[in-house]
Structure 1
């Protein structure tokens, strides 16, 4: 009887094969490694292990290959290092792309939570500037505000200058985040742009603090944002041999001869090259090339160039441009139809000629374009919304639409006021008519009374009535 039960259990096991258990004395069967497991033997891998890159060769033979997962995000230390690198120092006031890539904020959890609470407040953009790299109507962005954001950021970290901060890199991280919080109290943006705003903010802080502290070190004039005790500490450090040697080394590198043509100069002042380009587009009402921006930023008011190197690049650029135009004229003159077909250089062609005419440094950065270097990928402009006439036309159309909407709203409000006044007048007239009807009714009653009580009343009425 007992043997029959055992045979019945062995024949009808309610569990799948992977859940069969064997006595400790019996070795489990060796699986056939040549036969791959079926798809149903495993849960869907992308649901349970979304970040896993492991895929067995056998499973890949039966399943379609999934799209590769996104690359891992850099660590905070790596992002900070990249942000403080040499290339990021040229990013002051540079505008973003038309579709900016997402940038993850590197704020600590506590500060990031504070930022999100600030920018998530309802009606927050009613009284403070709204930042957006997409340039929606009513928003502003770095490089498109004539330096207002740069001045505001400089004012913010001057108020928090309470230690010997010789550069932005020596400011403690929690202090940097505190200054960013202060900036967020007076500006707002969409939460998805927090990382990009932080990147622009810290880039400006790095440049402006370096410039401001360097001016103080050279002039030895105490500014009002550095208190007396801190000023004594900083001047004492600047007078040490180590600090003087470091300053001398930096000065030699900055003023060193570059191919015998001297250091790089330009006349942009506090404005970024991006801001200069945007102002030129607004002024001319058309796109501009990098060569045009270069001539604008390296020419004095009297028409001369700021230095020999700027003049040399400009002359090479003009010659190459003339050669290209001459070649185009020759092609047009050989056309078989004989029609006039003069063609001017496009913005892309003009920019390409300039980039071939200027110098590059050891990092591949083009001489003479400043923060516009960030708009280049392999020698091509990766976006052109700043120099796009279509963008300007769209802005003008939006402004015109807003103006018409405001005029219509004002007209509607005036009409509503007129209708309300007319309604009030009609109501007053109705009240007057009602009072008059009441008085007439009362006079009728009096007439009936006098007619009934005094016969002389009817005689008086008939004598004095007029026909």
Structure 2
């Protein structure tokens, strides 16, 4: 993996992304690569900057599946701000690309019970061969990307179980029928983990908790950070949590997802219209005033 530095409009320097997949290595997409790139059907991929060895920077539209096909003389510029990559298009490309890595069972086996238990050797290999960052950003980038991949790895395993495990068959019958991309021993270990009493209990509890939700968001898989940047580029000023909450609880036609969401959003909008609440995250911002205190370890609309 090559890497380098590039001066850009953000407070930190940019870093570069390149890939070294072996020929013939397959991936399962974890996201529809055309789902949230844009509402414009003519658009062909994410618009990102690419720099060659001569230092020349060009713009190009790309999908995640095209990253492995980049020549070694080209690198995708990934701007950083603080400890996070920034830019709506590059963030979209990164999300899809990390999802492809996370769902590659050769790189990150599904037989481990939890992401922290995935052997460091596997994570190091993915980092060194498929992501490798400029040293000045390496610690921040690795932390950010590994957290993102861990989330996608967990989501992929959940989806894999619900789509590939046949509830009408016995454990032994399911084990004898692994997906083509997964070694039988890994599939067996994964099935046994999913059928453990503790795992089954947690799964049922999570399903019950989701069933209690009365207001669902319409943000899809798009990160709130990216949605916030899109809104900010449209209105030309920082976006509050309240504004972001309103925008992610509407349908495409502008209507609210349900009556409860409408009532909450209208209260937020009324407070926002007064112009006296902070744009920064605060317990007394518009969302905090309407929705109340946060649950421990969570911050809404962030």
Shorter-normalised TM range: 0.5 to 0.7
Partner of residue 202, structure 1: 146
- Of 265, 268, 273, which residue of structure 2 is paired with 1:314? 265
Give the SS at the match of 1:128.
Answer: strand
Q: Which residue of structure 1 lines up, in the alignment, with residue 191 of structure 2?
A: 235
**More off after superposition, 273-282 vs 162-171:** 162-171
What are the Cα deviations for residues 183-235 of structure 1, in whole angstroms up to 9, with x where unaligned?
335xx43x221110011111101211111111112222666543444324322
Aligned 8 A contact 1:358 1:366 in 2? no
Name the counterpart of 1:362.
295
Q: Say if 2:140 is the partner of 1:193.
A: no
CA contact (8 A) 1:166 1:210 kept: no
Larger radius of gyration: 1
2:115·2:150 contact (CA, 8 Å) conserved in 1? yes
Query: Separation in 1 of the partners of 2:236 and 2:214?
Result: 33
Q: Specify which of 255, 258, 269 is matched with residue 210 of structure 2.
A: 255
Alpha-carbon spacing, 1:200–1:264, altered in 2? closer, same or farther (3 Å): farther
Residue 176 of structure 1 and its aligned partner are, at CA, apart by: 1.8
> CA offset at residue 265 of structure 1?
2.1
- In the other structure, the counterpart of 1:147 is 92
Runs of 5+ consecutive residues of structure 1 not aligned to the other structure: 1-96, 101-121, 326-343, 373-467
Using structure 2 for the length normalisation, give the TM-score.
0.60
Q: Does 1:178 align with 2:125?
A: yes
Closer/same/farther in 2, CA of residues 303 and 230 from structure 1, 3 Å limit: same
Aligned to 1:217: 161
Using the TM superposition, give the Cα deviation of residue 241 of structure 1 relative to its aligned residue in structure 2, in angstroms.
Answer: 3.0
Q: How far did 1:276 drift?
A: 0.5
CA RMSD for the aligned pairs?
3.6
**1:348 maps to what in 2?**
279
Q: Is the 8 A contact 2:85 2:91 kept in 1?
A: no
Contact 2:228 2:239 in 1 (8 A): yes
The 1:213–1:318 alpha-carbon spacing in structure 2 relative to 1, beyond 3 Å, is same
Structure 2 gaps, min length 5: 1-9, 14-52, 58-72, 166-177
Contact 1:153 1:183 in 2 (8 A): no
